[in-house]
Structure 1
Amino acid sequence: MSKLIVNSADSSTVFQQELEELINNHRQDANLGKVATYIPELAKSNPKHLGVSIRLLSGEIVEAGDVRVPFTMQSISKVLTLALALMDHGEEYVFKRVGMEPTGDPFNSIVKLETIHPNKPLNPMINAGAIAVSSMIRGNKVEKKLERVLTFIRKLSKNSEISYNEKVAESESKTSDLNRALAYFMREHEVFEGDIEEILEFYFKHCAIEVHCLDLANIGAVFANNGQDVETGETLIPPKIARICKTFMVTCGMYNASGEFAIQAGFPAKSGVSGGILGTVPTKMGIGVLGPSLDDKGNSVAGVKLLESMSDRWNLSIF
């Protein structure tokens, strides 16, 4: 097992070599999946891309593979909008409208909304829950809400140039009848109020925020550092909210494969159908992965296997 904290030129080189070895070992796993096609713009992704960035809490950055390929956050943004909603309104307000329980159903399922009472989403990581959370973000217009989320993500990621991909957002909007059905059902059952199309426009745009692997690694490092900036010590997310978000990542972050990932890798993570994965190993590191080829649950095939191997090699499990 390699030394985890890089504190010398020699150990840094070994860590880099091992990471490149793992990337090379798992590139072929992309052949086991397919890129998302239900959002037409995502279908243009290269299924063979695989990259990983690591931001250690000691400050070092280690990367391997296709780490500068831009991709949209998709469901990864749900973690950040949840944090912002909790900062805006507090736990009681948010969790009166969205539950805290995992679900074994697909991320876009309407089943549980119809069968549980009250008819609120089970958690903020599924589409229904994320749409409900999106309705809670303060701002009287879509542009105001989006700018707040972008400002938040830019600060967490240390990248002031982050924006959203207009083509992807438009592509999502044109193919989201099911999300509209979820939204109308929830408004009917008083989960939230407001203009459905405005709420969904904001939702599509924050899912279309474009990042690369290092951005996710920097965000993950903030969560790993209990909500504090690794370099300055500034509190960017209150510690309790950071803990809540990490807990949701463990229980719900990898769709209905979250339990398996918790056993095999054992640290908080959130995936998106662009093939991105945000990982956070408390007190150790933040991780950003890209691997656009997905399994049938919507998770990056090669990315998941890469993270499992990293966890096994460096003993990253929190359990």
Structure 2
Amino acid sequence: MADHDRIASAVAAAWSQNRDVTGGANADYIPALATVDPDLFGISVVTVTGDTINAGDANTEFAIESISKVFTMARAMDEIGSDAFHSQVGTDPTGLPFNSVMALALHGDKPMSALVNAGAMSSVSLIPADSTEDRWAKILAVQSAFAGRTIALSETINQSEQTTNAHNRGIAWLLKAAGYLYDDPVGVCDVYTRQCSTLITTADLATMGATLANDGVNPLTGARAVHGENVPHILAEMTMEGLYEASGDWAYTVGLPGKSGVGGGLMAVVPGRLAIAAFSPPLDSHGNSVRAQLAITQIAATLGLSLYRKPHEADGQNAGRESSIRLATAGRQK
């Protein structure tokens, strides 16, 4: 069977077999996310040659949320270099929730990862800019470069986020006091909130992941979105913290760098080959989409995509992972 047909078959099976899965709940601490249809479910795969396979609601827009941290990190690394980024933000998993103040307190108020809220705001502040609006334009531009189309802000989601982000504003001031926020805390938190409030589709998200798989070059447009030498660092960050406290379990069982967002999106990257993205709003206790985890896990197992297995080794042994996800759907992390 040709590679396209194998992928298409795996995507279709994952969508069909997981579309009726129940459990989890929409994020309700951001009011605009609470009202998203919980039955939405889309899957997309984009290869490094630009081949695209979609299933379900793959062209329905949703909030990018924390997945945006990956692309802001990419822009910051490009601007100041990976070594400077590593020393100023940190690259270690926290083992605590993504909005944890305790994670800062334990390390002298230094953020430990660009993929939790504190480190993400530090990343925003590290992008050189003449103003808040200039910095926002740079972040919006990098999201668009990765997606291969113009990405736009959702005013509804942004307003919902801006009126409920007091905790993040507090984190921004803690970072500033400790010397790990490199611009005005109010402006930085505003831009960070906006970057989480843009709208993407599952197909966009797979393209964004495929750009990382393709050494930083968008496979649909042929344009470079990030310097190739920074891609391994970005994928390492995704491996360590991409699914919050579940990141280690994801690496252990799925074997791919991933990143989730509380809007229900999840992407996984297979360097040199492809990216898988899935979207479904109900989240587990860590803030990761229940159906998206199951779908990507199934596709990765069917196609033998784990980085820790021999290439193309497919064993389909995803039952244990599916069981662990189903047991974790009683709540969600705020």
TM-score normalised by length of structure 1: 0.92
How much has 1:232 moved relative to structure 2? 6.3
How much has 1:235 moved relative to structure 2? 3.5
CA distance in 1, matches of 2:7, 2:270: 16
Matches within 5 A, 1:205-220: 205-220=194-209
CA distance in 2, matches of 1:304, 1:53: 13
List gaps (5 residues or longer) in structure 1.
none
What corresponds to 2:124 in structure 1?
Answer: 134
Structure 1 position 153 matched with structure 2 position 143: yes
How much has 1:231 moved relative to structure 2? 5.0
| Structure 1 runs (4+) greater than 4 angstroms displaced | 231-234
The match for 1:84 among 60, 71, 75 is: 75
Equivalent position amino acid for 1:25 in 2:
Q
CA distance in 2, matches of 1:16, 1:93: 41
1:203-236 per-residue CA deviation (whole Å, 9 max, x = no partner) reads 0101111110111111111110111232565543
SS in structure 2 at match of 1:52: strand
CA distance in 2, matches of 1:130, 1:56: 28
What corresponds to 1:238 in structure 2?
Answer: 227
Equivalent position amino acid for 1:171 in 2:
S
How much has 1:20 moved relative to structure 2? 1.8
CA distance in 2, matches of 1:77, 1:63: 22
What corresponds to 1:21 in structure 2?
Answer: 13
Equivalent position amino acid for 1:146 in 2:
W
Structure 1 position 74 matched with structure 2 position 62: no
How much has 1:131 moved relative to structure 2? 0.9
Aligned Cα root-mean-square deviation (Å):
1.5
Matches within 5 A, 1:239-258: 239-258=228-247
The match for 1:264 among 248, 253, 262 is: 253
CA distance in 1, matches of 2:112, 2:223: 32
How much has 1:288 moved relative to structure 2? 2.1
CA distance in 1, matches of 2:147, 2:10: 25
Equivalent position amino acid for 2:52 in 1:
I
SS in structure 2 at match of 1:123: coil
The match for 1:284 among 250, 273, 286 is: 273
Task: Quote the sequence identity (%).
Answer: 30
The match for 2:171 among 158, 161, 182 is: 182
Q: Give the 3 Å change call, closer, same or farther, for CA 109–16 of structure 1 in structure 2.
A: same
How much has 1:49 moved relative to structure 2? 1.0
TM-score normalised by length of structure 2: 0.88
CA distance in 1, matches of 2:35, 2:48: 35
The match for 2:106 among 111, 115, 120 is: 115
CA distance in 1, matches of 2:169, 2:225: 33
What corresponds to 2:326 in structure 1?
Answer: none
Return 99-108 or 232-241, whichever deviates more.
Answer: 232-241
CA contact (8 A) 2:206 2:277 kept: yes
List gaps (5 residues or longer) in structure 2.
309-334
Aligned length: 308
CA distance in 2, matches of 1:223, 1:173: 30
CA distance in 2, matches of 1:273, 1:130: 15
CA distance in 2, matches of 1:153, 1:233: 15
The match for 1:32 among 4, 7, 23 is: 23
CA distance in 2, matches of 1:135, 1:59: 33
What corresponds to 2:311 in structure 1?
Answer: none
What corresponds to 1:101 in structure 2?
Answer: 92
Return 86-95 or 206-215, whichever deviates more.
Answer: 86-95
What corresponds to 1:318 in structure 2?
Answer: 307
CA distance in 2, matches of 1:193, 1:99: 15
CA contact (8 A) 2:121 2:181 kept: no
How much has 1:140 moved relative to structure 2? 2.0
How much has 1:180 moved relative to structure 2? 1.3
